[in-house]
Each structure stands twice: as C-alpha cells, then as structure tokens.
Amino acid sequence: MSQKKTKKTGLSVLIVIAALLILAVICIIKSGDILQNLKETSFFEKVFGTTPGFIKNIPDKENTEQKDNGTLPAETAPADTVTVSPAQPDTTVQPAEPESTDKNAAGTEQKPAETVQPDSEKKNPVPAKKQVVIPSVMNVKLWFVQIDSDGSVSRREVSRQLSKNSSPLASAIDSLLAGPQLAEKNKGCMTLIPAGTKLLNASVKNGVALLSFSEEFEYNTYGVEGYLGQLQQIVYTATAFSTVNSVQFLLDGQKKDYLGSEGVWIGSPLARSSFR
C-alpha cells in the first residue's frame, strides 16, 4: 500500500516539476511582456510606492514594435532627418524648344546686328566696275563687180553690218552669195557667182581659208570672164580678214585643179595678187 502512495507521490512531483519548468520557460519567453505590463499598470508604484529603475528603463511596447519594423517613432526622430521617397522615373518627354538667336536671356527680342563699315571704306568707297558692252554687230567688206559700157569688169567694194558670231568668215561669204542689196544694185553692183551656190564648209589654217562650195559654183554662163570674176569676189572678200592671206577652193569638199570647162586654175591657194 505504501509503495502505491510513493509512486503516486513521485508522479505528482514530476508533474509539478514539469509544470514549473513549462511555466519558467513561458516566463522567460514572455518576460518582456510581463515586465512591460508591470510598467504600464504601475504595479510596483501602487504596491511599494516606487518603481524600480530596470522597470522604468524598459522601452514602451510601441517603440519596440517600431524598432522591430525598422522605423523610428515620430517623436524620437532627429529634427534634421529628412525622409526621401524613392524618385519615380519621369516618363513625360518635354519637346525641346528651338534655340533662338533673336532673344536674350531675359526673353526680349533683339534686332540683328547692323554691319558697320570702317571709316576708310566710307571715305574711299570702291568704285563699281564698269560693264563693257560688246557690240552685237560686226562690219564686213564684200566685193561685187560692175560691168562698164565697154564690157570690162571691175570690182566694187561695199560695207555691211552683220550679226556678230563665232564664224565671221562664213557669215561674210554667205552674205556675198546672197547677192547685192537694192541700194547696191542702184549703184551698179552685180555678182558673177552662179545663182544657187552654197557654202558647205569654211575653215582657216596657217593663213589659208579652205572654202568648200556646192556644185553650182562650177557653172558660169559668162565664160572665162565670169569664172575670173566669181573667184575674185570670193578671194577679196575672204582676205579682207586679217587672218586670211589666200583661198583654197574646194568643190563638194574635194580639191580640183581647174574650174569649169574653160579651165581656170584653182589647184593651189589664190591670193589677191593672182588677179593683177
């Protein structure tokens, strides 16, 4: 009987010890809360009339929670502490204003700077260059013939104004082939160059004018005197130019020794001296 009581007593002791251990563990874990409650309820001050120092130094529960959350209470934050929120990226793009050279920093419009001429230029202005007017016409000399009462043929010189161009020799020969004008005819001028004759080509080389005529140039109804007359008209008109000393006649671009059935020599360049 005594053994059964002893066993029950020992079991009860073990239960009490376990309960005390559990209570001790809970007290250790919750010691902060217990002490906090003792401070908040002023337990020691009401019972003993004073509160121990270690109880006063226990931080308030609210402050403890804020520290645990990584924040400081508002009343204990330093006066010079500034809380900065993380900057949000600005996604609004402002259009760039074009730079203006007409406004100063204050925003007022400025007039363009005036160009100031040096005093030397004002006193001695540069004279404007004179425009040289190039004549649009040129004076040429043409030779026609005149048949006297006795049948002799003589040369007649006339002057004309022609439009200036890059081929003055060709222009003069073309004008000669067109024949005398009315005023010139009234003075007895005529031509012995066969009608319909055309200048095919004209060039000058080493003082010799190479003149090529169409086939009409070969036929003259006035015989030898007619051939000599038409050749003289061409030679004197061409050699009136300072760059021409003689004329080499060509027919359709080909060189021939004689002109027409009368056999007038044209195989070499002819000068004015060839007809004296």
List average pLDDT for each run of 10 residues in the chain, which is 276 residues long.
Answer: 62 76 67 70 70 70 54 46 49 51 50 57 63 79 92 91 94 97 94 96 96 95 92 97 97 94 92 91
Helical ranges in 94-222 per DSSP H: 119-123, 168-177, 182-186
Of 68, 85, 118, the last residue of a domain is 68
What is the Cα–Cα distance from 276 to 264, expressed in whole angstroms? 15
Of 68, 94, 122, which marks where a domain is finished? 68
Identify whether the C-beta of residue 73 lies closer than 8 Å to the C-beta of residue 66.
Answer: yes
Q: Euclidean distance between the first and final Cα of the chain, in Å?
A: 191
Report which DSSP code applies to 215. Answer: G
Are 147 and 243 in a shared domain? yes
Looking at residue 79, its pLDDT comes to: 46
Residue at a domain's end among 48, 68, 88 = 68
C-alpha–C-alpha distance, residues 155 and 95, integer Å: 90
Q: Give the model's pLDDT for residue 32.
A: 66
For residue 165, being part of any structural domain is answered with yes
Say what the pTM is.
0.53
Residue reference for tokens 């005594």: 2
d(CA 76, CA 60): 12
Q: Burial level of 124, CB count in 10 A (0-12/13-18/19+)?
A: exposed
Tokens of residue 40, six digits: 């908040």
Are 226 and 262 in contact by the 8 Å Cβ rule? The answer is: no
**pLDDT value of residue 13:** 74
pLDDT score recorded for residue 149: 84
- Assess whether 41 and 145 both reside in one domain: no
For residue 131, tell me if it sits in a domain. no
Q: Is residue 119 part of a domain?
A: no
Question: What is the count of structural domains for the chain?
Answer: 2
Domain that holds residue 218: 137-275
Helix, coil or strand: residue 66: helix
pLDDT of residue 77: 44
Question: For residue 148, what pLDDT is reported?
Answer: 86
Residue 255 forms beta bridges with which residues? 250
Q: What is the pLDDT of residue 48?
A: 67
The verdict on residue 121 lying in a domain is no
Please tell me the distance from the alpha carbon of residue 237 to that of residue 53, in angstroms, as a whole number.
Answer: 144
Q: What's the pLDDT score for residue 84?
A: 44
In a domain, 106, yes or no: no
In a domain, 158, yes or no: yes
| 249 shares a domain with 168 | yes
Same domain? 144 vs 267: yes
In a domain, 170, yes or no: yes
Domain membership of residue 128 (yes or no) is no
Same domain, yes or no: 147 and 31: no
Neighbours of 192 (CB within 10 A): 20
> What pLDDT is stored for residue 205 in this prediction?
96
